[in-house]
Amino acid sequence: MIYFVTAIHTDSGKTVVSAILCKALQADYWKPVQCGLPADTDTVKSLLGNTYSICHQEVYRLKMPASPHVAAKAENINIHLHDIRLPQHDQNTLIIEGAGGILVPLNDNEYVIDIAEKFNAQVILVSNHYLGSINHTLLTCAELKKRNLRVKGIVFNGNPYPEAEEHILRKTGYKCLLRIKPEKEVNEEMITRYAIQLFEQWNE
């Protein structure tokens, strides 16, 4: 099984959610396009602390913390979807982390969400609460539905906002997979704690 972790915008918590998924499902991790350093692959490695999850090398590791098409241009690189090929994951579940939101450009014609579509991955959407996040979440879900992509569910990240969450779940028909509250420190213990919660309700 392949899951694609995306979000309603950048810095929503995709990397933390990806680490939680890897821990809960004993899955491998892969971020095909990395923009900015330190790399999220290194962060996930440090948070997992296990030997069963393989963190695969990026196809593109770019230095500039910007949209992939901008970061690639700064290094005279062209990103092409056809060059992004699945790593060997030996039938393990694979967690793919996107870059930014779903319509972040890879190049002039292709977008981050096209990676999920290429590999027929189920989408896991991270939504964090701020003024305007309901709109951003519903717009993202509308695009996922338009593309007929399978969505496993939504992870809400941040201070609880029951009214917003209820509205989003009702309008989209998607399930809530997990709620992550603000944490003083993101570490292996925190990842394990949420992984247990996620695993317990994964197939409900």
- On whether the CB atoms of residues 202 and 24 are closer than 8 A, the answer is yes
Pairwise CA distance, residues 7 & 69, whole Å: 18
Active site residue 146: no
Nearest alpha-carbon partner for 29 in 70, 61, 58: 58
33-35/94-101 β-pairing:
unpaired
Nearest alpha-carbon partner for 20 in 118, 114, 159, 155: 155
Please pick, among 14, 23, 31, 152, the residue that the annotation labels catalytic. Answer: 31
- On whether the CB atoms of residues 105 and 132 are closer than 8 A, the answer is no
Residue 165: other Cβ atoms inside 10 A: 18
Distances 15 to 31, 108, 111, 143 between C-alpha atoms, Å: 9, 26, 19, 22
- On whether the CB atoms of residues 117 and 79 are closer than 8 A, the answer is no
Which residues belong to the active site?
Answer: 31
